[in-house]
């Protein structure tokens, strides 16, 4: 299930953030827990608290620390600890015990609750918004997920025993957002002796609907000393944390254009993934869908990855009469592999015939399904060339498209 980042933002003060910072950090070494260590001039814990404080949807923040570490948390937060929205409470021996304590400390009328690991400090405003906006009426939880790009091997006795498909696998991150009352009820029913590694597992077991948004590599979890160096490299420049906590988003736009003439074969015409009745079809190596071809080129342009011919050359017999929907699906997969989110797709079809209006909604729905985005992110328009040129003479169809991609925070 893919999240929308174009829905109405949540009302102010509707979100309670529970930041889990009770870990002992045994693998970190050095005696000081990772959440209290310095990173870029401030404590690790301060980043997540600051991120939620700055977001307009946040009403309350509950920081959960180990017994006896309240003063350490206040020292780490500095002036942030004085904010009326921030409360510090104590957790338990396990992560799930600390989350349960945080839920108990949250306001009884809390709407949404975000559970976040303090060890993931580089939380962006865009991520909080995307997750909150993913909580549609039929959704019980939402989380960021990164695609698995490495080949996965099963091991036995220190040797490779097989290969596991990564096709339907993802790497879960935090924050994870829930409906407060629903998650609290799941915890009340959960056997406390049963270990869980994240709260999404409770919703999975209950059969709830879980939405995903594209994760962010910069939500890297600090676990060992070397992770500080990795996170600094992912951030690009440690100085950015001392000078700015709200860098500009990296949004890139691409455009595409395609033309196909009418051929001798009979219709229908494939346009934007929809078979549109017409007396003649388009002449092309594939199915000739100028709309999807233009959209692919727009996405490839934003990715700076050539054009549709680079990926699906007409010289390759595999693409003879091929359905163009697979080309757009591939372009969307390339976005995911590059860590890019499709913000919007805008397509204009230029022709005298056939009429596009009766099929516009079906085209938008098909594009949205192929690209894995919400319907409100897709625009399909049509125009004529007022009888001028080859489209005006009814000799063919042209299409132009634009695509905007979000690559995360610019560094």
The rounded average pLDDT for each run of 10 residues, N- to C-terminus, in the chain (411 residues) is: 38 78 65 84 91 91 94 92 92 92 84 94 93 92 92 90 90 95 93 92 95 92 86 63 49 92 81 87 79 95 91 79 88 86 93 90 93 92 88 84 77 32
Domain hosting residue 224, numbered range? 15-246
What tokens does 295 get? 């959209």
Question: Do 364 and 386 lie in a common domain?
Answer: yes
Question: Do 44 and 175 lie in a common domain?
Answer: yes
pLDDT at 27: 52
pLDDT at 408: 55
Residue 4 belongs to some domain of the structure: no
What tokens does 216 get? 């962010």
- What average pLDDT does the structure give for the chain? 86
pLDDT at 30: 53
pLDDT at 2: 37
pLDDT at 238: 40
The set of long-range contacts for 234-237, using a CB threshold of 8 Å and a minimum separation of 24, is 234/122, 235/40, 235/122, 235/411, 236/411, 237/411
Round to whole Å and give the CA distance between 10 and 3.
14
Q: State pLDDT tens for residues 373-410.
A: 889 999 999 998 888 888 778 788 899 999 999 875 43
Round to whole Å and give the CA distance between 186 and 206.
8
Q: Which of 177, 242, 184, 188 is closest to 210 using CA atoms?
A: 177
Q: What pTM was estimated for this model as a whole? A: 0.56
Question: Do 74 and 154 lie in a common domain?
Answer: yes
pLDDT at 327: 92
Round to whole Å and give the CA distance between 388 and 385.
5
pLDDT at 48: 95
Task: Report how many domains make up the chain.
Answer: 2
Residue 292 belongs to some domain of the structure: yes
Question: Do 386 and 270 lie in a common domain?
Answer: yes
pLDDT at 66: 93
């Amino acid at each position: 299930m893919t999240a929308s980042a174009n829905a109405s933002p949540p009302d102010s003060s509707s979100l309670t953030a529970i930041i889990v910072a009770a870990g002992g950090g045994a693998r970190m070494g050095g005696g000081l827990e990772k959440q209290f260590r310095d990173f870029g001039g401030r404590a690790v814990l301060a980043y997540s608290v600051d991120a939620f404080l700055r977001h307009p949807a946040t009403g309350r923040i509950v920081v959960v620390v180990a017994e006896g570490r309240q003063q350490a948390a206040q020292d780490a937060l500095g002036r942030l600890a004085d904010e009326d929205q921030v409360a510090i409470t104590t957790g338990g021996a396990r992560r799930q015990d600390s989350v349960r304590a945080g839920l108990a400390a949250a306001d009884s009328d809390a709407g949404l609750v975000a559970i976040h690991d303090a060890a993931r400090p580089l939380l962006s405003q865009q991520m909080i918004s995307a997750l909150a906006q993913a909580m549609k009426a039929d959704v019980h939880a939402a989380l960021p997920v990164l695609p698995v790009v490495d080949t996965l091997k099963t091991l036995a006795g220190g040797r490779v025993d097989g290969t596991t498909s990564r096709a339907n696998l993802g790497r879960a991150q935090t924050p994870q957002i829930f409906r407060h009352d629903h998650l609290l009820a799941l915890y009340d029913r959960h056997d406390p002796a049963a270990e869980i590694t994240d709260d999404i597992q409770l919703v999975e077991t209950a059969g709830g609907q879980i939405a995903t948004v594209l994760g962010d590599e910069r939500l890297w979890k600090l676990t060992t000393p070397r992770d500080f160096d990795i996170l600094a490299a992912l951030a690009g420049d440690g100085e950015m944390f001392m000078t700015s906590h709200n860098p500009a988003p990296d949004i890139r736009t691409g455009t595409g254009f395609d033309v196909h003439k009418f051929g001798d074969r009979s219709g229908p015409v494939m346009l934007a993934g929809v078979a549109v009745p017409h007396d003649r079809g388009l002449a092309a190596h594939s199915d000739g869908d100028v709309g999807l071809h233009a959209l692919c080129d727009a996405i490839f342009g934003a990715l700076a990855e050539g054009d549709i011919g680079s990926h699906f050359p007409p010289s390759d017999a595999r693409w003879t009469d091929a359905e163009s929907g697979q080309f757009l699906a591939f372009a969307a997969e390339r976005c995911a592999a590059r860590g890019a989110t499709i913000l919007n797709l805008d397509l204009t079809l230029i022709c005298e015939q056939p009429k596009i209006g009766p099929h516009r909604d079906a085209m938008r729905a098909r594009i949205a399904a192929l690209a894995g985005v919400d319907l409100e992110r897709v625009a399909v328009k049509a125009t004529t060339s007022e009888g001028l040129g080859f489209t005006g003479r009814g000799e063919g169809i042209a299409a132009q498209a634009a695509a905007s991609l979000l690559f995360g925070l610019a560094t």
